[in-house]
Amino acid sequence: METLTAIHERRSVKYYDPDHALSEAEIQELLEAALCSPTSFNMQNWRFIAVTDPAKKEALRAAAFNQAQVSDAALTLILCADLDAHNDAERYWTNAPGPVREMIVPMIQPFYRDNPQLQRDEAMRSVGIAAQTIMLAAKAMGYDSCPMIGFDPNKVAEIIQLPERHLIGLMITIGKALKPANPRPGQLPYEEVVHRDHF
């Protein structure tokens, strides 16, 4: 599917065929696309929990206020981020030319150190960018998706055994739609949203 078509056709689908499964090859293809998402300083601070086990999905459904798409979708993804990713700067630049590596790597840790708000902001930015990559890749592969924040993050953290110094950004369900999304409820006018050079 052409990229702009995927952007315009991607919708948040709530009803999935519970009998449809993604193959391991499809899951890997989808998440390898996510690994192409940009991150600040190439930190790759996102972590993706791909949930296909029915019992785990049922537990996540309970933590998501019993929303059926969590267990009915073929794949439920939890998008998380490592708040300490800036502390392992060298490994993100191992393939860069020496002068580039020597310039960039020493900048990373001081930029984030002692700034928990920036660490959190960066984590959420990275997760958000990856989420859109995942949803567009899913659409291009013939699947539908739904980004979700309607869940108890503490319960989800317990279910997925979230490590310390990590956070959960959002959940995405992916699968074959049983019925299409409702029509778009109403977009703001272009002129209200887009400003040229200043407000």
Query: Are the CB atoms for 145 and 13 separated by under 8 Å?
Result: yes
Q: State the chain's mean pLDDT as an integer.
A: 97
Give the pLDDT of residue 55.
Answer: 98
Place of tokens 């050079």: 197
How many other C-beta atoms can be found within 10 angstroms of the C-beta atom of residue 50? 16
Q: Model confidence at 180, in pLDDT bands (50, 70, 90)?
A: confident
Q: Model confidence at 15, in pLDDT bands (50, 70, 90)?
A: very high
Question: pTM here?
Answer: 0.95
Give the pLDDT of residue 67.
Answer: 98
Please, what are the domains in the chain? 3-193 (3.40.109.10)
Backbone angles phi, psi at 172, to 5 degrees: -130, 130
Q: Model confidence at 1, in pLDDT bands (50, 70, 90)?
A: confident
What average pLDDT does this structure show over 17-36? 98
Q: What percent of the chain has pLDDT over 70?
A: 100
Q: Model confidence at 157, in pLDDT bands (50, 70, 90)?
A: very high
User: pLDDT tens for residues 48-95?
Assistant: 999 999 999 999 999 999 999 999 999 999 999 999 999 999 999 999
What amino acid occupies position 67? Q
pLDDT at 27 over 90: yes
Give the pLDDT of residue 103.
Answer: 96
What average pLDDT does this structure show over 169-176? 98
Backbone angles phi, psi at 53, to 5 degrees: -65, 125
* Of 57, 16, 66, nearest in space to 181 by CA: 16
